[in-house]
């Protein structure tokens, strides 16, 4: 199977369409005046469009009309309005409604194109490049060659599961793991809310003996397993689904994976999620940690940090905040 095809397939499934299936109808209205473009967008959004985008309309040969971020002018004089509708929408009827709402007497002139999942999925793919996270620690998209072959290179099939190494929260956690790699050696790691599995895999490559990973998204669980295999650490990672409800039974036990995982005690726990789940998960993550264990939490805004720290203070001490 060609590299990256699993990621594309995963994206397509997530988009409720196979690669060739139509996932959206793109409708383009050209040469709309800047004054009315915004109202037209609102009218189209109210008519069933899922998104509405305004860009410059520049037929061949005409000069650019650059729009600067700080300028008072908020829109180009001549615009192209691009909207996306769910597949199967009667776009003609939606446009008629929108035209009526904006008080037009002339019908809108437009073009419709079918969008297949592959188009924008490919755009996402093209935007991934090898990324250096810390000294001799890189994240490498599966179809690229590592620039530094001797570094710790975490190979990823960036797919729908979050965790390509690009987001600041992922990088913060990766740097934390990297800084503590001497503490990781021979230890057991729990990656709660694993997404693509990048943190668990990185921990294993940095010297951890074994890791467990869990996520509410079953596709993430699959992605974590796939990425572990890509890095040759599949035999040291146990990936199981979990439920969003923090009072639900412990996921390793539920999945019957306690024997494979070894136990539900971990020397290092990392959870890169969001404030809501993190607040609710304090008892569970505390339960996973051995006395003296390390914990890293991320996915929160700086303003949310005090509340999260307060939730974990009954169980942990020695908090450090890194932004």
Partner 1 sequence: MSKKEKVVTNVIKLLIKAGQAKPAPPVGPALGQAGLNIMSFCKDFNAKTANLKDNVPVPVTITAYSDKSFTYETKTPPATYFIKKAMGMEEGGGSQRPGHTEAGIISAKHLYEIALIKHQDTVRTELE
Q: Do 118 and 8 form a contact (C-beta atoms < 8 A)?
A: yes
Sign of CA dihedral 153, 154, 157, 160: negative
Helix (H, G, I), strand (E, B) or coil at 311: helix
Task: With contacts defined by CB under 8 A, name the span among 63-71, 102-110, 233-241, 259-267 that binds partner 1.
Answer: 63-71
Instruction: Enter the tokens of residue 169.
Output: 């929260």
Q: Do 101 and 43 form a contact (C-beta atoms < 8 A)?
A: yes
**Contacts of residue 102, Cβ cutoff 8 Å, sequence gap at least 6:** 36, 39, 40, 43
- Considering only residues 122 through 151, tell me which ones interact with partner 1, judged by CB under 8 A: 123-124, 127
Q: Please state, in angstroms and rounded to a whole number, the distance separating the CA atoms of residues 312 and 80.
A: 51
The verdict on 236 binding partner 1 (CB under 8 A) reads no
Cross-strand pairs, 81: 29, 54
Provide, rounded to whole angstroms, the least separation between the CB of residue 49 and partner 1: 8
Nearest C-alpha neighbor of 190 from the set 217, 169, 213: 213
Cross-strand pairs, 29: 81
Question: Please, which residue, 87 or 262, has the CB nearer to partner 1?
Answer: 87
Nearest C-alpha neighbor of 302 from the set 280, 272, 322: 322
Provide, rounded to whole angstroms, the least separation between the CB of residue 202 and partner 1: 17
The verdict on 316 binding partner 1 (CB under 8 A) reads no
- Binding test (CB under 8 A) with partner 1, winner from 7, 41, 201, 311: 41
- Considering only residues 1 through 20, tell me which ones interact with partner 1, judged by CB under 8 A: 11, 14-16
Question: Please, which residue, 52 or 233, has the CB nearer to partner 1?
Answer: 52
String of contacts with partner 1 for each residue 71-90, x by CB under 8 A: xx--x------x-x-x----
Question: Please, which residue, 64 or 292, has the CB nearer to partner 1?
Answer: 64
Question: Please, which residue, 116 or 177, has the CB nearer to partner 1?
Answer: 116
String of contacts with partner 1 for each residue 245-284, x by CB under 8 A: -----------------------------xxx--------
How far lies 155's CA from each of 52, 129, 151, 227, 268, in Å? 36, 11, 12, 7, 22
Q: Please state, in angstroms and rounded to a whole number, the distance separating the CA atoms of residues 165 and 128.
A: 10
Provide, rounded to whole angstroms, the least separation between the CB of residue 68 and partner 1: 4
Provide, rounded to whole angstroms, the least separation between the CB of residue 56 and partner 1: 8
The verdict on 23 binding partner 1 (CB under 8 A) reads yes
Q: Do 54 and 81 form a contact (C-beta atoms < 8 A)?
A: yes
Binding site for partner 1 (CB under 8 A): 11, 14-16, 23-24, 26, 41-42, 45, 50-56, 66-72, 75, 82, 84, 86, 115, 117, 119-121, 123-124, 127, 158, 160, 162, 164, 166-167, 169, 274-276, 299-301, 304
């Amino acid at each position: 199977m060609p590299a990256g095809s699993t990621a594309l397939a995963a994206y397509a499934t997530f988009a409720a369409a196979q690669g060739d299936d139509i996932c959206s109808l793109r409708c383009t209205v050209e040469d709309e005046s800047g004054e009315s473009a915004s109202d037209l967008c609102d009218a189209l959004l109210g008519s069933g469009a899922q998104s509405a985008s305004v860009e410059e309309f520049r037929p061949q040969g005409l000069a650019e009309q650059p729009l600067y971020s700080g300028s008072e002018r908020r829109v180009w004089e001549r615009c192209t309005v691009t909207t996306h509708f769910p597949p199967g929408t009667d776009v003609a009827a939606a446009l008629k409604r929108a035209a009526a709402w904006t008080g037009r007497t002339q019908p809108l002139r437009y073009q419709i194109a079918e969008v297949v999942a592959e188009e924008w999925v490919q755009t996402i793919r093209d935007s991934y490049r090898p990324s250096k996270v810390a000294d001799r620690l890189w994240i490498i998209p599966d179809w690229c060659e590592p620039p530094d072959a001797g570094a710790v290179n975490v190979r990823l099939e960036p797919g729908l599961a979050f965790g390509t190494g690009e987001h600041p929260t992922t990088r913060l956690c990766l740097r934390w793991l990297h800084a503590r790699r001497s503490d990781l050696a021979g230890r057991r790691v729990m990656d709660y809310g694993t997404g693509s599995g990048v943190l668990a895999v990185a921990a294993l490559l940095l010297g951890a003996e074994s890791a467990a990973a869990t996520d509410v998204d079953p596709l993430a669980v699959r992605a974590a397993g796939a990425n572990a295999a890509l890095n040759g650490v599949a035999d040291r990672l146990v990936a199981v689904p979990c439920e969003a409800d923090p009072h639900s039974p412990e996921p390793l036990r539920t999945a019957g994976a306690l024997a494979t995982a070894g136990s539900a005690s971990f020397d290092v726990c990392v959870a890169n999620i969001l404030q809501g789940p993190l607040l609710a998960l304090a008892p569970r993550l505390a339960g996973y940690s051995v006395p003296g264990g390390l914990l890293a939490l991320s996915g929160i805004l700086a303003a949310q940090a005090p509340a999260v720290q307060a939730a974990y203070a009954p169980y942990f001490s020695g908090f450090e905040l890194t932004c």
